[in-house]
Amino acid sequence: MGDTPPATPPAAEPTLQRSIGPVQLALYGLGSMLGAGIYGLIGKAAGEVGNAVWLAFVVALVAALLTALSYASMGSRYPRAAGAAYVTHRAFGFPLIGFVVGLALVCSGLTSIATQSRVFASNIAALFEIESLPVSWIALGFLLVMTGIVFRGIRESMWVNVLCTVVEAAGLVIVIVVGFSYWGSVDYFETPTSLGDDGALLLVLQGAVLTFFAFIGFEDTVNVAEECRDPQRTIPIGLILAMVLAAVLYIAVAITAVSVVPWQDLADAPGPLTEVMATAAPSVPPIVYTFITLFAVANTALVNYVTASRLLYGMSRQGLLPAFLGRVHAGRRTPHLAIVALFLVLVPLAMLGTITELAAATVLMLLMVFAFVNAALFVLKRRKGEPEGRFEIPLFVPALGTLVCALLIVVRVGTGDWRAPALAGAMLLGTFVIYVVLRPKAAEDALQLPPAP
């Protein structure tokens, strides 16, 4: 009798593909931030701050940079998908905190994708004068295309992101170029108040609260950590580069906008940058900006889809969500079941129509996440034996970041609109109920986390 052949070892479980470099990651983060509302936000900000809107962006940059630096350090120390959920769990030892943080980010992504699908569909219907097909069905087709791209692979998703980000940024560069000759034509410290320097400073700070949200999106970069080449180096470089590029574009656009169009008119314009283009370059057809809007909307949806799928994947790997969501397709090297699960949730959300209030509530939840991440990094930096990354920051940075985010939450809640805080509270309660129902296995071993990679 022949010898029994040795048993065939089981095939290694497929993993995510590492293909993202610093420049690609920077464009990924930049595309997410540019889609945060600069095209419409500039008008609202000008209405609050006047010609000093550029200064509000500078102050907002400083505030946002505190949390961005914390994220860069976190990504350098713990380069893994769902990094925010991981570090909060690791710092505080309660899986419930990591679970809520992770699902808050997923909810933010879902509402953004659903909203963008409706915006994209409405623009397509108006552009091609489609009346026979309901907008909801166009939105469904858009979601199917996005799902296909995200499932296809991270390389394909990143290349589509690069294309959309370049077009999106080009739209802002065009505004700057056509309006550059107007620079120096106004007083850039003029505000809507005559209360003196103290009143002007208060207005700038209030404007900074509004413009802060134009920088939201940098956090998406950390969630593709397991698909970055040399993530300890790539994440800090890519994230900070994205912030710098966004800040330069925002400040230049702000100066250009108030130089070309009086801030009072800018505040009342339905499309502020379209108004700037109509004044500075009337020969450029408006349809150009319609196409740019389509690219911007598609990019925002794509980035949020990739991010949300990696959040589900990462939370599954941490034991915070069912194991099947952490499976990777052997051929495409993407978390295919997480992508399908998101699609099944997105379809009814997109069909429901506008979800503005839900989106406003997720902004509050995002600020809560930022506060927790800053606080978690502060705790971990003080804990002996924790690994250090290639990019370390002083202890005061996460401490100040926590305070700034907490202050922004107070400001948002204090606006008098109770609906967004009520929805945010309901969403938090919902995540707690889901946590109790799922009883994540991580809860059984909360204080014995796997070592950081």
Q: Is residue 446 part of a domain?
A: no
Place of tokens 């909060």: 88
pLDDT at 120 over 90: no
- CB under 8 A, 24+ apart: contacts of 16-19: 16/81, 16/154, 16/226, 16/227, 16/313, 16/328, 16/333, 16/334, 16/335, 17/153, 17/154, 17/155, 17/227, 17/333, 18/226, 18/227, 18/228, 18/229, 19/154, 19/155, 19/158, 19/227, 19/229
- What pLDDT, on the 0 to 100 scale, is given for residue 422? 83
Q: Which of 38-52, 412-426, 429-443 has the highest mean pLDDT?
A: 38-52
Query: At residue 17, what is the residue type?
Result: Q
- What pLDDT, on the 0 to 100 scale, is given for residue 343? 94
Q: How far apart are the first and last CA of the chain?
A: 48
Coil, helix or strand for 290? helix
DSSP bridge partners of 20? 228
- What pLDDT, on the 0 to 100 scale, is given for residue 355? 57
Q: Is residue 2 part of a domain?
A: no
- What pLDDT, on the 0 to 100 scale, is given for residue 415? 63
CB 24 within 8 A of CB 250: no
- What pLDDT, on the 0 to 100 scale, is given for residue 154? 92
Q: Is residue 5 part of a domain?
A: no
As a whole number of angstroms, the distance between CA 386 and CA 375 comes to 15
Q: Is residue 7 part of a domain?
A: no
Average pLDDT over residues 384-406: 92
**Angle, helices 135-152/287-317, rounded to nearest 10 degrees:** 50
Coil, helix or strand for 45? helix
At 175, list the tokens.
């505004």
Give the model confidence (pLDDT) of 376-390 as tens digits: 999 999 999 898 899
pLDDT at 180 over 80: yes
Q: Is residue 209 part of a domain?
A: yes
CB 358 within 8 A of CB 113: no
CB 211 within 8 A of CB 57: yes
pLDDT-above-90 percentage for the chain: 42
**pTM of the prediction?**
0.86
Q: Read off the DSSP letter of residue 11.
A: P
**HEC letters along 320-339:** CCCHHHHCCCCCCCCCHHHH
Taking alpha carbons only, the member of 419, 446, 350 closest to residue 138 is 350
Give the model confidence (pLDDT) of 64-78 as tens digits: 999 999 999 999 999
Note the helical H segments in 325-418.
Answer: 336-352, 356-382, 396-413
pLDDT at 98 over 50: yes
* pLDDT tier at 54, thresholds 50, 70, 90: very high
Q: Kindly report the CATH number assigned to the domain that includes residue 297.
A: 1.20.1740.10
pLDDT at 232 over 80: yes
| pLDDT-wise least confident of 81-90, 195-204, 340-349, 367-376 | 195-204
* pLDDT tier at 36, thresholds 50, 70, 90: low
- Number of domains present in the structure of the chain: 1
Taking alpha carbons only, the member of 101, 96, 108 closest to residue 432 is 96
pLDDT at 118 over 90: no
- What pLDDT, on the 0 to 100 scale, is given for residue 5? 46
Question: Domain span at residue 240?
Answer: 22-441
As a whole number of angstroms, the distance between CA 81 and CA 95 comes to 16
Q: Is residue 128 part of a domain?
A: yes
As a whole number of angstroms, the distance between CA 325 and CA 335 comes to 7
pLDDT-above-70 percentage for the chain: 89
Give the model confidence (pLDDT) of 276-316 as tens digits: 988 998 888 878 877 888 888 899 899 999 999 999 999 99
Q: Is residue 287 part of a domain?
A: yes
Q: How many CB atoms lie within 10 A of CB 159?
A: 13
* pLDDT tier at 40, thresholds 50, 70, 90: low
CB 137 within 8 A of CB 120: no
CB 304 within 8 A of CB 109: yes
As a whole number of angstroms, the distance between CA 445 and CA 301 comes to 35
Exposure of 345 in the CB half-sphere (CA atoms within 13 A): 18
**What is the torsion angle, in degrees rounded to the nearest 10, for the CA atoms of residue 369, residue 372, residue 374 and residue 379?**
-160
As a whole number of angstroms, the distance between CA 255 and CA 271 comes to 17
Give the model confidence (pLDDT) of 131-165 as tens digits: 778 888 899 999 999 999 999 999 999 999 999 99
- What pLDDT, on the 0 to 100 scale, is given for residue 200? 67
Q: Is residue 414 part of a domain?
A: yes
| pLDDT-wise least confident of 10-14, 165-169, 273-277 | 10-14
Q: How wide is the angle at C-alpha 160 spanned by C-alphas 155 and 161, nearest 5°?
A: 95
pLDDT at 209 over 80: no
* pLDDT tier at 363, thresholds 50, 70, 90: confident
Average pLDDT over residues 317-333: 90
